[in-house]
Amino acid sequence: MPKNTPQNIQGKKNMMAGVWFLSGFMIYGFVLIYLRDFAPDKVEWIAGSNDGKHFESRLAHVHGNLFALLNLLVGYLLWQLPIAAKAASRISWLALAGMLMPIGILTEVLFGVPPLLVIVGGISIVASMIYLGFAIMNMTNN
């Protein structure tokens, strides 16, 4: 088991957040299944599911689960690879900020909030992946 280094702590943070986020969006998926298959107004819900709020709700579910899994992956890689502590911290926080995207989609659907969180989250998750790629590329093989 790896020692308790700053990189490992960053990795643990991403894995923990990823698991909790995945759990939440899996539960949200069951809510969507209920609305589609069991709710009293399921026929109306299905009829409107290809556009508008219903479509956005499905996007939030898919991106929430994807970004949770990406945080699990980032966390595991930060835990296992000899990435510099400063880079690991930045990668970790960018990946965590990426989870603002699905939250932003939900706040847009539920409360009419402008899509600022969607944009910030999308840019953050892409930046974390690019940064992680460069960090891995620059690792030395000792």
Alpha-carbon distances, residue 36 vs 44, 49, 67 (angstroms): 9, 9, 24
pLDDT, tens only, 94-131: 999 999 999 999 999 999 999 999 999 999 999 999 99
Domain residue ranges in the chain: 6-137
Low-confidence ranges of the chain (pLDDT < 50): none
Q: Which residue is listed with tokens 């990668």?
A: 91
The torsion defined by the Cα of 46, 48, 54 and 56, in degrees rounded to 10, comes to 130
User: Per the structure block, which two tokens stand in for 139?
Assistant: 């690792």
Predicted confidence at residue 5, as pLDDT, reads 84
Q: Which amino acid is at 6?
A: P
